[in-house]
Structure 1
Amino acid sequence: MHWHTWLYLDVTPIEEGSARIFTGEERMALFADLAKLADELAHEPSRLKKRAAIAEAIAAVHIAAPESEDAGLFALYLAGMPFAEADPRKLNAGGSLLSKALLAVSGASQAELSREYKRHGDLGAAGFDLLSTRATERTRPPTLQNIAEAFTAMAAARTTAARASLVEGLLQRASPLEAKYLLKLMVGDMRIGVKQSLIEEAIAAAAQVAVAAVRNAVMLEADLSAATERAFAGTLAEARMRLFHPLGFMLASPVDSPEEAVERFAAKPHEGDEPEHVAAFLEDKYDGMRAQIHCSDASQPGRVAIYSRNREDVTESFPELQEAFSRVSEHAGALIFDGEILGWDFDTARALPFAVLATRLRRKRVSNELRAQVPVVFMAFDLMFAESALLLERPLKERRNRLESVVEKLTGHATASIIVDERARNAQAVLFAGEESAALSRLLLAPSRLVQSADEIERAYTDARARANEGVMLKAADSIYQPGRRGLAWLKLKRELATLDVVVTGAEFGHGKRAGILSDYTFAVRAANGELLNVGKAYSGLTDAEIAEMSAWMMAHTLVDEGFFRTVEPLRILEVAFNNIMRSDRHASGFALRFPRILRIRDDKPVSEIDTVERVEEIYQSQVDKPVE
């Protein structure tokens, strides 16, 4: 891949109007350059060539305008981020708004857009095709700075109409290729086979600095653009940790048995010897929502931010946690906790099923009634930042000691009542008088202990299930915290509840690699009267060859074609696994499978032998963690 041609636009106007004259005072990079590179990268399989092309491009932008933010914006936009991760602003431009803007600019019909989207599974690619037939003359191709200004205006816009107008303005100035990648950028997914880690490597190569230094600055400040500028300015070492942006979560690898866990952790001194005992921390695996809590920053006293595993700010969904953690600033310095948000039964001191907690998710307003129906706590199991320092490189046993010390300090302080005076407009809400307003501790310490044998792990697993938890976690005592990594230092043991044989009743077209392929399957079980009742939907578990075969079969056996969704003849059987079963009004069966996964196609089974609603009810009732009915 070669990247030699760079175009820059002088953007200081002398007079207004459609025809502009520019002085040579400032030169800024065109978005067209980024779009061309992105399109080349999408078709380049070599990781090394991609990195070299990105590095060359970023270096060229910096050389052309060393005092501007262009090189940083180039890196940021190529990563598919309209704003830095630490920047709380949002474009607030969903697929519906972008689709309508594309239709307005292209003049295409909804049917044409549906056809192109189904073919590509990508709005940007669909936009490229629709706009390629548009015969218009462009006068001002957008620069990176133009894009940044439009994004700033979109984030500040108070109405959908204002945001739509800004999007239309960008698309009207864009070539089909520019529009393709503008839409991808606004969606937040470039789909060019380039991860942020590769762009970090390219920044290091372009500025001739260490990759580790670039990555450290990005982690501390959560700003790829700023890290690019620091790399060229030689100030990467000056990057300092900021709270209130999510760090990556460390992930666990699954194991099927205690023996496998011991085998993974234990060292064998000599070939053929039995594994030695393993020193690992064991915790219950809770069926809640993984979260990270940032609080007590001296520069922003009382501020609390709660981030989900997908790095979304979910603070508003859990106001009692915000209230509780806003009260700890006097008792501890800035802190970042890792843990699990749980629906909690304060009477029995047990976690509520995830199905109950799910009613709290994505709520922009949480009433007193909901606070009382589904109380929540934060079960902390790791400490990522304390005493003005990141603790990620410290061994788990040290982080655990510090966590225990911090939780002890905060005992009696991280509290919030079940109900508050809803007339109050801040976290220090005035409480109702009476018993229900008694403050409850919202910070709990996840019980943890060292285990050394498979027998101990098996007993702990049985006990965890009896407490209505999913299973157990095993964490090497000397493991460092690796954000975003799923290694072998943390393991999770949880066994499938059961499997069901189901029949496919419908399918949707996939996205990205699966564009144009029916790959998302809706499936059903049988009612007592023989009626097929949907119970779930799954898209993972099959090989590419199996998906292709299933898609071709479903195309030929379509009963109703609704565009994105097809109702198909109920003849193909799948065996599916799942984590648990919830009652649900979403499906005709009255149940929904949580995290269903396809184990295999069961062409050896007739439809008459699929599982029944009665069997689903039986599994549901067998769950120790089902909601109380």
Structure 2
Amino acid sequence: MSRFAELASLAEELAGTSSRLKKRAAIAAAIAKVQAESSQQAGLFAQYLAGLPFAEADNRKLNAGGAMLSGIVKEISGAADVTMSAAYRKHGDLGAAAAELWPRLAESEIVLDELEAAFAASSSARSTAARKHVLTELLRRATPLEAKYLLKLMLGDMRIGVKQSLVEEAIAEASGTEVRAVRNAVMLEADLAGAVERAFTGTLAEARMRLFHPLGFMLASPVETPEEAVERFASTKESAEAADVELKAEEPDPDIPMAEHLPVEALRIEALVEDKYDGMRAQVHCGVDGRVAIYSRNRDDITESYPELVEAFEKVSEPLILDGEILGWDIAGRRALPFAVLGTRIGRKKVNDAMRAQVPVVFMVFDLMYAGGELKLDLPLRARRNELEAVVERISAVTRSPVEKAAGGLFASEEPDVERLILSPSFVVESADDIDRTYRKARERGNEGVMLKAMDSTYQPGRRGLMWMKLKRELATLDVVVTGCEFGHGKRAGLLSDYTFAVRGEGGELLNVGKAYSGLTDAEILELTEWMKEHTLEDFGHFRTVEPKKILEVAFNNVMRSDRHNSGFALRFPRILRIRGDKPVEEIDTVARVEEIYQSQPDKAGS
């Protein structure tokens, strides 16, 4: 039986290794070794190493937050508050801090089957006390190194520089299969452990799509001007063509023009342009026995928050996966409402009629991921768009639901129900001038900007390449994660209203870059205060560290070099634009992006 100690030792080795190839080889060797004993154990080994307590398709949650786990560490280690605080400040990570304080035990015998059973028991526990008991008894048996990585796994972040994609590559190497086949099986079934078994039994091709688990979303890269978008599209297309030529002949065709040698006005592209709406990216699964599931960009199930969309899509009779945006909607004006209006509904588990009337929502669909019993991801955008238009035409008559008439509703309608599915208007553009015109019209409609998508682009889940781009033309903003908070002053003296926030480093570590306290409403601050208290890792009285899960979009005047924060930068006059409940921590901005903004400033500010 495979012991967790072996996984923890490997994780420690990987954390100290910078080479991606060496990491992959080490993971592959470990998986092959465990596979020789048990295919089921090998699957768990890969899943846990990727930081997943449960398979993605598994709806169970561990329900163990930072506050509970910090309490368990304190109980087992016997450390005083001041000692706990010093260890956390030193490492910035609960697992690493625990390893420093942990009692020295004999060699552990925790095996992966026992860990799986403990996680299942924690998920099904009917009380916080019962859940805490299960996890405490598990951790009491752990060595310091095991405790370090058990806590990291429970918090869902191993912080060893290993993403799931690297584990997938290692599975392919260990089993002698194609990486693409492994990734396809994981995508279809959302089960990394199951993919290990398929890889070693030669059944990867038998993986079949399971609806009602979220697929990865394709992402867009930002551009500042229409000209930059055209240059990038042209370069990407010609690079692909050149690569194709190299496969067919020993020497590339010298007649292939390179984009950088041509003036922008001479370049011609073929791209689809759509308005960039200020809403919440979402994926709708429907068409099986009236079941509907809606997933956010960070793969959370948000179905309960939008009952009117459930009412509309539960009448669809063909299995579908649709990609789009949930928008607050002015029914009479047929236009999107600002995100601040929609934000009052994000995260709501119970939505009453008054809320439905106050903030009506629609689903603006712009891509088709699954239809007719098969995934559409490998089709070019032009083909997916044609099929999407046909799907919308077929189901538009049934994807409607009632409009509530509650008192205080802002957006009256004479109709008894309203379309909840709207096909995103799109246009084909060929030049920078075309993009500029469509951008200005999008802004006139009150939308953020435009999305630009290459007509021959396939849908690449989780990828942010140059086949999709977004043009917003705004002052620079950053998506950051809150790492700490402190009580405010005056009327905010009893509220956690000052937020320290971080961006991602090269290895995925969180590096603080600033602190902000302005921009949120009193209601938002009150809600965040309650959340921060429940997710506190360390409480220093006036200041506390919190689980890094709350994402903010912040604006600022400029970026300065500074040794005040461990990122090496500080934001001047940062202010919070909004809470990004639709974005996972993995997609916050990076130190590299901060550096890019800093270098772009004509007058760079020092510390």
**TM-score w.r.t. structure 1 length?**
0.75
Structure 2 CA distance for partners of 1:395 and 1:216, relative to 1, 3 Å? same
What are the superposed Cα offsets for residues 427-469 of structure 1, whole Å, 9 maximum, x if unpaired? xxxxxxx988922111100001111222221121111111110
Shift of 1:285: 0.4
Amino acid at match of 1:310: N
Identify the residue that residue 563 of structure 2 maps to in structure 1.
548
Identify the residue that residue 98 of structure 2 maps to in structure 1.
127
Identify the residue that residue 484 of structure 1 maps to in structure 2.
462
User: Which of 50, 58, 70 in structure 1 is aligned with 2:31?
Assistant: 58
Shift of 1:575: 5.9
Partners of 1:511 and 1:606 lie apart in 2 by: 19
Identify the residue that residue 316 of structure 1 maps to in structure 2.
304
Shift of 1:115: 2.0
Amino acid at match of 1:150: A
Identify the residue that residue 276 of structure 1 maps to in structure 2.
267
Partners of 1:542 and 1:87 lie apart in 2 by: 43
Shift of 1:130: 1.4
Determine if the alignment matches structure 1 residue 493 to structure 2 residue 459: no
Identify the residue that residue 574 of structure 1 maps to in structure 2.
572
Partners of 1:453 and 1:516 lie apart in 2 by: 40
Shift of 1:295: 0.8
Structure 2 CA distance for partners of 1:265 and 1:367, relative to 1, 3 Å? same
Shift of 1:278: 1.7
Matches for 1:146-157 after TM superposition, within 5 Å:
146-157=114-125
Determine if the alignment matches structure 1 residue 186 to structure 2 residue 174: no
Amino acid at match of 1:458: D
What are the superposed Cα offsets for residues 141-162 of structure 1, whole Å, 9 maximum, x if unpaired? 2110000000111111111111
Identify the residue that residue 79 of structure 1 maps to in structure 2.
50
Structure 2 CA distance for partners of 1:310 and 1:518, relative to 1, 3 Å? closer
Determine if the alignment matches structure 1 residue 448 to structure 2 residue 426: yes
Matches for 1:68-467 after TM superposition, within 5 Å:
69-131=40-102, 134=103, 141-266=109-234, 270=257, 272-274=261-263, 275-297=266-288, 301-329=289-317, 333-419=318-404, 438-467=416-445
Determine if the alignment matches structure 1 residue 40 to structure 2 residue 13: yes
Shift of 1:361: 0.7
Structure 2 gap segments, 5+ residues each: 239-255, 407-411, 479-487, 489-497, 520-551, 580-587
- State the secondary structure of the residue aligned to 1:408: helix
Shift of 1:519: 3.3
What are the superposed Cα offsets for residues 51-83 of structure 1, whole Å, 9 maximum, x if unpaired? 1111111111111235xx100000000000000
User: Which of 522, 530, 535 in structure 1 is aligned with 2:516?
Assistant: 522
Shift of 1:257: 1.3
Count of matched residue positions in the alignment of Structure 1 and Structure 2:
513
What are the superposed Cα offsets for residues 12-49 of structure 1, whole Å, 9 maximum, x if unpaired? xxxxxxxxxxxxxxxx1111110011011100111111
Structure 2 CA distance for partners of 1:420 and 1:304, relative to 1, 3 Å? farther
Partners of 2:10 and 2:556 lie apart in 1 by: 32
Structure 2 CA distance for partners of 1:577 and 1:496, relative to 1, 3 Å? farther
Q: Is the 8 A contact 2:331 2:413 kept in 1?
A: no
Which region of structure 1 is more displaced relative to structure 2, 218-227 or 249-258? 249-258
Partners of 2:217 and 2:105 lie apart in 1 by: 47
> Larger C-alpha radius of gyration, 1 or 2?
1
Structure 2 CA distance for partners of 1:604 and 1:125, relative to 1, 3 Å? closer
Partners of 2:604 and 2:178 lie apart in 1 by: 56
Shift of 1:347: 0.9
Structure 2 CA distance for partners of 1:507 and 1:473, relative to 1, 3 Å? closer
Amino acid at match of 2:3: L
Shift of 1:360: 0.5
Partners of 2:571 and 2:120 lie apart in 1 by: 50
Partners of 2:436 and 2:454 lie apart in 1 by: 17
Structure 2 CA distance for partners of 1:353 and 1:595, relative to 1, 3 Å? farther
Structure 2 CA distance for partners of 1:552 and 1:207, relative to 1, 3 Å? closer
Partners of 2:275 and 2:459 lie apart in 1 by: 19
Q: Is the 8 A contact 1:419 1:437 kept in 2?
A: no
**TM-score w.r.t. structure 2 length?**
0.77
Structure 2 CA distance for partners of 1:517 and 1:355, relative to 1, 3 Å? closer
Partners of 1:409 and 1:264 lie apart in 2 by: 36
Partners of 2:511 and 2:477 lie apart in 1 by: 26
Q: Is the 8 A contact 1:35 1:178 kept in 2?
A: yes
Amino acid at match of 1:368: D
What are the superposed Cα offsets for residues 471-502 of structure 1, whole Å, 9 maximum, x if unpaired? 011111111111111111111111115899xx
Q: Is the 8 A contact 1:89 1:155 kept in 2?
A: yes
Partners of 1:205 and 1:573 lie apart in 2 by: 43
Identify the residue that residue 474 of structure 1 maps to in structure 2.
452
- State the secondary structure of the residue aligned to 2:378: coil
Partners of 1:404 and 1:381 lie apart in 2 by: 9
- State the secondary structure of the residue aligned to 2:36: helix
Structure 2 CA distance for partners of 1:92 and 1:516, relative to 1, 3 Å? closer
Shift of 1:86: 0.7
Which region of structure 1 is more displaced relative to structure 2, 276-285 or 264-273? 264-273
Q: Is the 8 A contact 2:106 2:143 kept in 1?
A: no
Shift of 1:262: 2.0
Structure 2 CA distance for partners of 1:197 and 1:174, relative to 1, 3 Å? same
Partners of 2:20 and 2:87 lie apart in 1 by: 29
Structure 2 CA distance for partners of 1:363 and 1:437, relative to 1, 3 Å? farther
